[in-house]
Copies of this chain bind each other. A is one copy, B any other.
Amino acid sequence: MTRPPLPRIMLEPMVRAALLEDFGRAGDVTTDAIVPVDARAKTVLAARQAGVLAGLDLARIAFDLIDPRIAFTAECRDGDALAPGDVIATIAGPARGILSAERVALNFLCHLSGVASATASIVDAVRAYKAEIVCTRKTTPGLRAVEKYAVRVGGGSNHRFGLDDAVLIKDNHVAIAGGVGEALRRARENVGHLVMIELEVDTLDQLAEALDIGVDAVLLDNMDAKTLKSAVAMVDGQAITEASGRITPATAPSIAASGVDLISVGWLTHSAAILDIGLDFLS
């Protein structure tokens, strides 16, 4: 499967900002004081845990921005399954630059591999079902594009990237509009018909009303497995069905068994722990 990385022009600004955040007003005073300007090093990025790799380009850019003479040779690709000890890349060249960029490179790589690994664990858990795992807008501020990329790398898909690329009518919108029907009508009237409209429903009654009016997708929020199954049956292919509500790898299979098309999981991007990856000096 092809999972092309994001173009460097999208990634470089955030790597540059992260390096400047780490360098502060005087740069790497330790390395500058101790490491001779002509010292060279050969190092490897190595997995310390099993998981799925994501963010290799961000690491590559970090070393390149510090010193373009650093040779970064990837031994893996984003999406590869890692076992502890696996060598991800070889990084060789001026020792100062390698030491100065190390932490920023790892901060991106460990975080995004953590997101990809979390995604893969849920994707695996529901592999027997048709349900696709999707992420939400509950992302870390400033990192949405790359976290959503990491979800794709882990085998998931992306729901909305922001408030602007689809309509998602939530309970508060419905309350203000005065009902599901009015909310749907206003949405249909005010957005172009290339924009998908999804509605959050909490009950089967609301679902029935929505299907009557017509809707592209329904978000079935916090329903138990049995109600979900009834909902999917009621929809019967007239709309995309999506389940949500604090779903974990443990609870995902029972949700997926309902036959929903999508399961959205905020945890992938807001609470996944890092995947531990380190930089080892060979010489």
User: Which residue of B26, B35, B132 contacts A193 across the interface (Cβ within 8 Å)?
Assistant: B132
Chain B residues lying within 8 Å of A281, measured Cβ to Cβ, are 172, 175
Tell me whether A25 and B194 are in contact (CB under 8 A). no
Structural contact, B34 and A176, CB atoms closer than 8 A: yes
From B22, B95, B134, B175, give the contact of A137 (CB < 8 A).
Answer: B22
When all copies of this chain in the complex are counted, the total is 6
Q: Is A100 an interface residue (CB 8 A)?
A: yes
Q: Contacts A240-B194, A270-B274 known; A163 to B17 CB distance under 8 Å?
A: no
Instruction: Give the interface segment out of A84-92, A153-161, A227-235, A250-258.
Output: A153-161
Roughly how many angstroms separate A66 CA and B163 CA in the complex, as a whole number?
Answer: 14
- Chain B nearest CB from A100 CB (Å) reads 7
Determine whether A19 belongs to the interface, using a CB cutoff of 8 Å to chain B. Answer: yes
- Nearest chain B CB to A3's CB is how many angstroms away? 8
Would A173 and B34 be within 8 Å (CB), given that A66-B7, A100-B7, A161-B164 are in contact?
yes
Q: Are B22 and A163 in contact (CB under 8 A)?
A: yes
**Residues of A at under 8 Å CB distance from B?**
1-4, 6-7, 9-10, 14-37, 39, 41, 65-66, 95-96, 99-100, 103-104, 106-108, 110-111, 114, 132, 134, 137-145, 148-149, 152, 157-159, 161-170, 172-173, 175-177, 183, 186-187, 189-196, 217, 240, 261-262, 267, 270-271, 273-274, 281
